[in-house]
Amino acid sequence: MALAPTVQLRSGARLPLLGLGTWPLNDDEAAETVSLAIETGYRLIDTAENYRNEKGVGEGIRRSGVPREDLFVTTKFNSEHHSLDGVRRAFQASTELLGLDYVDLLLVHWPNPGQGRHVEAVQGIAKLMEEGLVRAVGTSNYKPAHLQQVIDAGIVPDVNQIQLDPQRPRIEERAFHNEHGIVTESWSPLGPGSGLLEDPGVVAIAEAHGRTPAQVVLRWHVQQGMVAIPKSSNPQRLAQNLGIFDFELSGAELASIYLLDTGEAEIVDSDAFGH
């Protein structure tokens, strides 16, 4: 069984390049899908307080029988916990539901900059990392301006998880991340159902490689150093999505996929939206 290669984070932890997203699975579905995914070779599992499935994710992890230390478990917390004590309480609630005593990567789910506590929320995670309770510090949906405020306060997150796919390649955000050694993690890497997988250009590349369009899109992410976390509860697709480390896209193919960026695709605005 082939596992995904990993990328080393600033913290030293190693993050698999391909993992399982778990939204919108409920507890029962998450338990089933997570155990199947781990048996298929997934080692990175991504959940969140807001998904309300951490209990099921934990159950799936235990069912798989794979040792805890071989897995990379990520969760996120909501805006009501954006304080040093709040982050600690969020961590305790998540780990209790997951049935784990540490998480590999804890992320602030949305910056909610209107609250003015998006820096403090990251400081809360950094404190937990000092105590060995989390292995890496993460943000999600932070724009470069939000990250700059975090960096000015003396912390560089290990990972920023953002909405990213070929129609939304987020070039400026990735350049900012790269400048600071922050790994980019793509949520909804296959796009929000906007025809990406039916695009004739993507289909032609897939046919040329004897792969599926989803494999081409996921390969586009990981070949450029982004971590992708597609959700699927379909056993064939779970295997298919992980099976992207034995072929390579050419430079011309990677470049042609950028033509899908018309600049018009909607991106959830984290200055306006959050929870």
The residues that are catalytic are 51
Count residues near ligand A2P (CB under 6 A). 15
Instruction: Pick from 6, 10, 14, 23 the residue near ligand A2P by CB under 6 A.
Output: 23
CB of 82 or CB of 211, closer to ligand A2P:
211
Rounded Cα distance, 134 and 123, in Å: 13
Distance from C-alpha of 49 to C-alpha of 55, rounded to nearest angstrom: 10
Minimal distance, residue 33 CB to ligand A2P, in Å: 8
Which residues inside 180-219 make contact with ligand A2P, applying CB under 6 A?
Answer: 188, 190, 197, 212, 214
Contact between 60 and ligand A2P by CB under 6 A: the answer reads: no
Q: Please choose, out of 11-19, 56-64, 227-235, 260-268, the segment that lies near ligand A2P by the rule CB under 6 A.
A: 227-235
Comparing CB distances to ligand A2P, the nearer of 41 and 144 is 41
Query: Based on the number of CB atoms within 10 Å of its own CB, is 154 exposed (0-12), middle (13-18) or buried (19 or more)?
Result: exposed
Nearer Cβ to ligand A2P (2/145): 2
Segment contacting ligand A2P (CB under 6 A): 58-66, 68-76, 105-113, 233-241? 233-241
What is the smallest separation between the CB atom of 107 and ligand A2P, expressed in angstroms? 16
By CB under 6 A, which span of 1-9, 95-103, 174-182, 236-244 interacts with ligand A2P? 236-244
Residue 190: exposed, middle, or buried by beta-carbon count in 10 A (0-12, 13-18, 19+)? buried
The verdict on 230 binding ligand A2P (CB under 6 A) reads: yes
Under the criterion CB under 6 A, does residue 239 sit at the interface with ligand A2P?
A: no
Residues that bind ligand A2P (CB under 6 A): 21, 23, 188, 190, 197, 212, 214, 230-234, 237, 240-241
